[in-house]
Structure 1
Amino acid sequence: MTDTDRELDPALRELSDWAGDAPPLSPAARHRARTRLLSAMEGRRPLWRRPGLRIAVSGLATAAVAATVLVAVRTDDGSTTAHPGTVRPVTARTVLAGAAAYERKHPRTVPSPPRDDQFIYTKEIIKETNRATGETKSYVDETWRSVDNTRPSWVMEIGKGWWSKPYKKRPGDHVESVSVWPPQDWSRLEKLPTDPERLILSLLHKSGPNDRNDSIDEVRDDEWWDVEFSLAGLLKLVPVMPDGLRAAAYEALGMVPGVKAVPNQKDAKGRTGVAITYDDPNRPGRGGFGTYMIFDPKTYEFLGFRDIRTSGDGVRKKIYTQLSYLDSWAITDRAKQRP
């Protein structure tokens, strides 16, 4: 029996044990059962159907095992396990599906869409530790980004701020070759699909809904890295989105080969969560945008980021571990205007 068979059989047994005359499952229970079954079946479904684009199956199987962590299953009454003392495996795709479900229940909403002439204010808390010395410093970064990127933005990183001038087209530039990602302006964000598969196809071209009638089965293995980079950048750098887009981005990220779950990761507040990270199967060792996205292991609420920063080179090179989270955000009429 293969590892996939062992994962799939318990899921099927759960279905077979359900009595036909039992009351219907609640939406939450039905979602959990579907997610677990899909996660168990992932190993049986071909990842790419186009000839010549398959990568080593054994490598993917290893990655799938590595992407599985153990967490307790929450039941409808709020308890953390269906049976005392038991845990069930959860994949990165399951974590991100849970994050999408949490986002739909607790969306970040705005009274009205931000105008192009406004700014998106964010306040980010960063805790940075020097890996060599163990010294830890904390920073409060406040940023005002121009919604349509036509006005100077005030940007801060680890306590230092500067004015970021908007991009100006240079002679010889083609309009289609110049783009700012991720977009802040609402008109561009609204063009992004809230269906996760269509969102993936859209991000390949950075042009909004894709009209080529493609399927994600046709995404080349060397294109997935760019998809992950775009999704992670969207999730990290855009604090407020049109309804359904953030949830779709979580689900789309769960479809990217090489995305995996890592248990027992601390966030900036000291909470233990399950982290999502990425290792490009096409080029092992190459990650994506950022390092870890940390989620609550029970509710799948997003807790914050873990990143690596380096400074200097040679003997002067320093490596820092950064833990960060979004403290607050707002829409303002001017840069440096307090919300």
Structure 2
Amino acid sequence: MRDIDELRALRDFDTGAPPLDEATRRRARARLITAIDGPAVRVRHRRPALRIALTAGLAAAVTAGVLVAVRDDDGTRTHRTAKPPATSAPAMRNVSAQTVLKGAAAYAREHERTVSPRDDQFIYTKEIIKETDQKTGATKSYVDEDWRSVDRSQRSWVMEIGHGWWSPPLKKNETVWPPQDWGTLRKLPTDPKKLILSLADKYVIGGGNKSLDDLTDEDWWAIHFDLAGLLKLVPVMPEGLRPAAYEALGMVPGVRLVPDQKDAKGRTGVAVTYDDPTLPKGATDFAASFIFDPVTYRFLGFRDTRTSGDGAAMKTYTQLSYLDGWAVVDRVKQRP
């Protein structure tokens, strides 16, 4: 078994380069875990923070050869809606993260609209980010628009808090998580337990995990990373996969509920966050979290933190974000 203290020691190793921020350290740890546990190289590409918040409440339309999916933010819909789990806001002392995630899964099953993008198409997303300096209280808003190649065979355009760049296509035998190509997504189980075990198998040489009881704290950390990335970064999924991912997330030890959290639009919801079991005893890491409506459990947005600078000049920001819209388009930079 790997020694988590040795992994943490690597964070402070002085290579002469500027210190890493926390998000970068997490990416490095995930890649190191993969390199230690698996014979194949598995490259995890993600933003400094996995901040794209997704919703299952989307309506799809096909227009002029381009599949367009339009989000209905204000709740007004022309299709049937799920019955809310409660007629009024539940007493948060009696509600668990598992209850909220099961409710989110039920909501997704009622509202998900399945589409099948081609490998040669692009996933367009428009994300709204509200970022607040934790020290000064100064707030800025950003609009990030991404065009990601479905099968990663073409270069993609990605943005991070207002700055954009071209992301090159994947190299031969290079893979990423989360996948967006339909063929790979369809292979993921839609049973939550089987989904967890399929993710766990990637961290064991030869696979073979048969029971959730066999998973270590480090395994669960990596599984949470994969599930969160899948839910945040993949707006197009086969039928049943998103609900399964929500329910699987609820099975991860350390997932907990934080009541009375504001989303980017000022709505009060309940947040589902994660306590990393590999952190030192007594340490907390309330940073990345999903925010849900407390009555219907509809997904509202995402909360995360970002750091910049070093030492006394380091700044920490609270980020609230939501997906304003998404679409499947034929060309990069093509808007729906």
Cα distance in 1 between the residues matched to 2:228 and 2:141: 24
Which amino acid is 1:336 matched to?
K
SS, match of residue 151 in structure 2: coil
Change (3 A) 1:333 1:218: same
Cα distance in 1 between the residues matched to 2:161 and 2:183: 31
Cα distance in 1 between the residues matched to 2:134 and 2:126: 25
Cα distance in 1 between the residues matched to 2:276 and 2:196: 16
Q: Is the 8 A contact 2:85 2:296 kept in 1?
A: no
Matches within 5 A, 1:181-196: 181-196=177-192
Change (3 A) 1:184 1:103: same
Cα distance in 2 between the residues matched to 1:187 and 1:90: 37
1:124 corresponds to which residue? Answer: 127
Greater CA drift, 264-273 or 133-142: 133-142
2:4 corresponds to which residue? Answer: none
Report the TM-score when normalising by structure 1: 0.69
Q: Is the 8 A contact 2:257 2:273 kept in 1?
A: yes
SS, match of residue 94 in structure 2: strand
The list of structure 1 runs, each at least 4 consecutive aligned residues, that deviate by more than 4 angstroms after superposition, is 75-78
Matches within 5 A, 1:273-312: 273-284=269-280, 285=283, 291-312=288-309
SS, match of residue 217 in structure 2: coil
SS, match of residue 205 in structure 1: helix
Aligned pair 1:106/2:111, yes or no? yes
Q: Is the 8 A contact 2:256 2:272 kept in 1?
A: yes
2:196 corresponds to which residue? Answer: 200
Cα distance in 2 between the residues matched to 1:168 and 1:77: 46
Matches within 5 A, 1:204-219: 204-206=200-202, 212=208, 214-219=210-215
1:243 corresponds to which residue? Answer: 239
Q: 1:231 aligns with which of 209, 227, 234?
A: 227
Which amino acid is 2:293 matched to?
D
Which structure 2 segments of 5+ residues have no match? 1-82
2:154 corresponds to which residue? Answer: 151
How far did residue 211 of structure 1 move? Answer: 8.0
Cα distance in 1 between the residues matched to 2:334 and 2:84: 44
Report the TM-score when normalising by structure 2: 0.70
Cα distance in 1 between the residues matched to 2:299 and 2:84: 21
SS, match of residue 96 in structure 1: helix
Aligned pair 1:97/2:97, yes or no? no
Partner deviation per Cα, 1:87-121 (whole Å, 9 max, x = no partner): 760111111001000101111332xx111111000
Change (3 A) 1:220 1:213: closer
Change (3 A) 1:77 1:258: closer
Q: 2:141 aligns with which of 119, 124, 138?
A: 138
Q: In angstroms, what is the RMSD of aligned CA positions?
A: 2.4
Could you say which structure has the larger radius of gyration?
Answer: 1
How far did residue 205 of structure 1 move? Answer: 3.3
Compare relative contact order (CA 8 Å, sep 6+) and give the higher one, 1 or 2.
Answer: 2
How far did residue 78 of structure 1 move? Answer: 6.3
Which amino acid is 2:233 matched to?
L
Q: Is the 8 A contact 2:129 2:143 kept in 1?
A: yes
Change (3 A) 1:329 1:218: same
Which amino acid is 2:87 matched to?
S
Aligned residue pairs, count = 250
Which amino acid is 2:230 matched to?
L
SS, match of residue 227 in structure 2: helix
1:327 corresponds to which residue? Answer: 324
2:88 corresponds to which residue? Answer: 80
Which amino acid is 1:104 matched to?
R
Change (3 A) 1:106 1:165: same
How far did residue 287 of structure 1 move? Answer: 5.1
Identity among equivalent positions (%) equals 67
Which amino acid is 2:316 matched to?
I
